Amino acid sequence: MNGSRFYACVFFSLILLLGTSYGDVANILVNPGFESGTTGWAARSCSITTITPPTTPAPHSGSRCARAYSRTATWNGIQQNVLSKMVIGQTYQVSGWVRTASPSTTINLTFEKTDSGVTSWSQGAHGTANNSGWTYISGSYTLTANGTLTALNFYAESLDLNDVYLDDANVYGAVPGVAGPNATGLVNFNVTHQTLEGFGAAGAWYQNNVIACSSSHPEIYNILFRDLGIDIYRIRNTYGIDSSYISDTNIIVKGAKNALGHPIRVMNTSWSPQASLKSNGNTVGGTLAKDGSGNYRYADFAQWWADSLTAWSNAGVDTYYLNMQNEPSWTASWDTCYLGTTQTDANAGYEPAFAALCTKLNSLPSRPLLLAPEGQDTTLTPSYVNSLTVADKANVYGYSHHLYNGSADSPDGLISPMATLKAAIGGDGKPLLQTEFSKGGPFVWTDAMNLAILMHNALTVEEVSAYLYWELFWASPSGLVSVSNTSYTINPVYYAMMHYSRFTDPGWQRVDANSTSSDLRISAYKNPDEPNAAIVIINTSTTTDMNLTLALNGFTPQNSGIYQSTSNAYFAYIGTFSTSTKMFLPKQSITTIHLAGFADCAAVQAGDYGLPSDLNGDCYVDLLDLKIMADNWLHTDCTTPGNCQNADFAPTDGKVDFLDFSDFGPEWRQCNNPLDANCTPNWE
């Protein structure tokens, strides 16, 4: 996404989706999927139970769903008391999966409210359900009160007296909290949610700036990759379109590998296939071309992708994730290719194109992980997912999308669309990936705060496994880093991303986190294999500095570091963490706590997290290690297990020479001592 389309989206989204900012947000319902039986629920003048397979109907998800039966009035059903769980004046996203014992009837998700002795009823969602499958219904409810609320109930009812079934109910919105200077919180590492694919950004344009800038500023690769700690690099597939982009990408991917110490995951996306495959003979606009028989050239499009993967690999860039077509519903004044949710005489269809791609790539010895459909927003994405067949979905690794029905200036405006999208496509266990969204510069600290809040919402509401910013680098004033041929500028939004990406990695899991303050938003992540964790806390208040006492359940850190960003200082180290000490959180700040279970350097080494260039094992790469290199220089008798005091980085050649020194040098002056606050924590 670029150009005038981006700014138009921001403008109209700002008009349509400006929302009220508030603190912690969550599904306020207890046991919403009935996995703990009827705990938290009550019968509303009828009988309720939960059913499990092989009893029918099967749950929408999980192992249980709820049934209301022996109903003698339409308002009888499944009920939960939500008094004191909602915030007056706030709007909540209401949804659930419903079915009935009758062929067809209307089911309502209703709120019953008693306000100063007056009882009223309001629908949060309604829709037509049947006895042949689950139906998703959704809507919204704004809680108002003229006096004192003495009762507030949420319940499912139907317009007939047959049995009502409910699963995966959702009342999502603001959680009551105390807005004030002191708060407590809890991170429960025993309750896990989605597994991370990682954080990332795109390098789809302006790669020439980075390469040119690296001549005078070789540290640019460390800034873009190592310091930021991103895991995914999104690129354009320009095979047959722009070969120079492929060779330039190889240079940047190599720079990323050198900076990170390992290959970065490359996400390869097509904006358009080459012009010969397009209906208009142009990479701009149009759809797929037809052959002489009037059939769309799906097989040729799939072959183009297969040839692309070979060309990219031969150029030194291996594709980890593949998105067949960027924003298939969009046409613009730049490279696009329209693929409709259904095939018509005027436009090719997304599903037959994807089916042809799977047929072709599945015949190869190996293929990347396939993502679909990379829709432009949360509204259009479900229709593309639903167009895929069962066989298609078996080839899909995860569902990707963008957020261009929202505004970067109003991150909470996307809470409801995110919840709706998750309910619509998140039920089959595949990861959800947000792969492009941003706001053009210039940037101020408010933009960084909004990005942090948006990422928090995506991770906790939609439960995305990946969040990708659009421009990793761009011409000034945009991008996480603005880069010219001779200089670069790190923008405030860079640090918002860093608070999430620096200390997490693919395979980490999000865990439960909350606080008593409506001003704080907390999310937390753990490495399931090693004792490492990260906690991100956003103080959204514009007026109140906070003091937070944070408890941990299921994790005992041996070492820690706290890093904080405000409008005055970015990602500053401010000390270590203790559950017994109040942590100061300035207004409009982002704070990351990194926790490690390694108490000292010996524990780091025992955990197999030593730096390869740390030859003497003291967690520092310094003159002592260089002395070992010098003492063994040009030795040709290095054999395992000694390998010349580990100076032979290529133990199969048995000697210490310039090849080994080239491996030793990149870690010069690095350290990974968890007791040294000046070390970059890399014992993960």
Predicted confidence (pLDDT) per residue in 201-233, tens digit: 999 999 999 999 999 999 999 999 999 999 999
Closest to 278 measured CA to CA, from 336, 219, 358, 364: 336
Closest to 597 measured CA to CA, from 554, 548, 563, 536: 554
Residue 366 in domain = yes
Cα angle vertex 75, ends 71, 77, to 5°? 55
Q: Using the predicted structure, report yes or no on whether residue 427 has a pLDDT greater than 60.
A: yes
Distance CA 214, CA 661 (A): 22
Please state the rounded mean pLDDT for residues 151-179.
90
- Which has the minimum average pLDDT: 249-258, 399-408, 566-575? 566-575
Burial 507-524, CB ≥16 within 10 A → b, else e = ebbbbbbbbbbbbbbbbb
Distance CA 659, CA 668 (A): 15
Q: Do residues 112 and 250 share a domain?
A: no
Q: Do residues 76 and 214 share a domain?
A: no
Q: Using the predicted structure, report yes or no on whether residue 17 has a pLDDT greater than 60.
A: no
Residue 676 in domain = no
Q: Do residues 614 and 564 share a domain?
A: no
**CATH number of the domain encompassing residue 547:** 2.60.40.1180
Residue 106 in domain = yes
Q: Using the predicted structure, report yes or no on whether residue 3 has a pLDDT greater than 70.
A: no
Beta bridge partners of 637: none
Grade residue 144 by pLDDT with cuts at 50, 70 and 90.
confident
The pLDDT value recorded for residue 602 is 77
Q: Using the predicted structure, report yes or no on whether residue 182 has a pLDDT greater than 50.
A: yes
Q: Do residues 364 and 230 share a domain?
A: yes
DSSP helix, strand, coil percent of the chain (3-state; round to 5): 25, 30, 45
CA dihedral 675, 678, 680, 682 (to 10 degrees): -20
Q: Using the predicted structure, report yes or no on whether residue 24 has a pLDDT greater than 90.
A: no
Average pLDDT, the chain: 90
Expressed as residue numbers, the domain containing 480 is 199-508
Please report, for the chain, how many H helices and E strands are present, in that order. Answer: 14, 31
Residue 19 in domain = no
Residue 547 in domain = yes
pTM: 0.74
Distance CA 171, CA 124 (A): 9
Residue 679 in domain = no
What is the DSSP secondary-structure string of 591-632? Answer: EEEEEES--SHHHHHHTT---TT-TTSSSB-SHHHHHHHHHT
CA dihedral 190, 193, 197, 199 (to 10 degrees): -90
Q: How many structural domains compose the chain?
A: 4
Q: Is residue 519 within 8 Å of residue 477, measured between CB atoms?
A: no
Grade residue 15 by pLDDT with cuts at 50, 70 and 90.
very low
Q: Is residue 224 within 8 Å of residue 481, measured between CB atoms?
A: yes
Beta bridge partners of 5: none
Residue 574 in domain = yes
Q: Using the predicted structure, report yes or no on whether residue 125 has a pLDDT greater than 60.
A: yes
| Residue ending a domain, choose from 459, 478, 508 | 508
The pLDDT value recorded for residue 650 is 65
Please state the rounded mean pLDDT for residues 102-115.
95
Q: Do residues 398 and 499 share a domain?
A: yes
Q: Do residues 427 and 518 share a domain?
A: no
Question: Tokens at residue 43, please?
Answer: 């019968």
Q: Do residues 34 and 166 share a domain?
A: yes
Q: Using the predicted structure, report yes or no on whether residue 684 has a pLDDT greater than 70.
A: no
| Residue ending a domain, choose from 471, 490, 508 | 508
Q: Using the predicted structure, report yes or no on whether residue 146 has a pLDDT greater than 70.
A: yes
Grade residue 178 by pLDDT with cuts at 50, 70 and 90.
low
Distance CA 547, CA 184 (A): 8
**CATH number of the domain encompassing residue 85:** 2.60.120.260
Report percent pLDDT > 70 for the chain.
93
Please state the rounded mean pLDDT for residues 537-547.
94
Report percent pLDDT > 90 for the chain.
69
The pLDDT value recorded for residue 6 is 37
Q: Using the predicted structure, report yes or no on whether residue 20 has a pLDDT greater than 60.
A: no
Q: Do residues 517 and 504 share a domain?
A: no
Q: Do residues 448 and 405 share a domain?
A: yes
Residue 675 in domain = no
Please state the rounded mean pLDDT for residues 558-571.
91
The pLDDT value recorded for residue 18 is 32
Q: Do residues 475 and 515 share a domain?
A: no
Q: Is residue 595 within 8 Å of residue 556, measured between CB atoms?
A: no
Task: Specify the length of the chain in residues.
Answer: 684
Q: Using the predicted structure, report yes or no on whether residue 625 has a pLDDT greater than 90.
A: no
> Where is pLDDT greater, at 364 or 681?
364
Amino acid at 268: N
C-alpha distances (whole Å) from 593 to each of 471, 572, 606 are: 26, 12, 24
Closest to 656 measured CA to CA, from 666, 671, 667, 643: 643
pLDDT digits over 265-316, tens only?
999 999 999 999 999 999 999 999 999 999 999 999 999 999 999 999 999 9
Closest to 153 measured CA to CA, from 111, 95, 190: 111
> Where is pLDDT greater, at 5 or 65?
65
Q: Do residues 210 and 351 share a domain?
A: yes
| Residue ending a domain, choose from 450, 478, 508 | 508
Q: Do residues 63 and 83 share a domain?
A: yes
**CATH number of the domain encompassing residue 475:** 3.20.20.80
Q: Using the predicted structure, report yes or no on whether residue 320 has a pLDDT greater than 50.
A: yes
Please state the rounded mean pLDDT for residues 563-575.
91
The pLDDT value recorded for residue 88 is 85
Closest to 252 measured CA to CA, from 230, 284, 274: 230
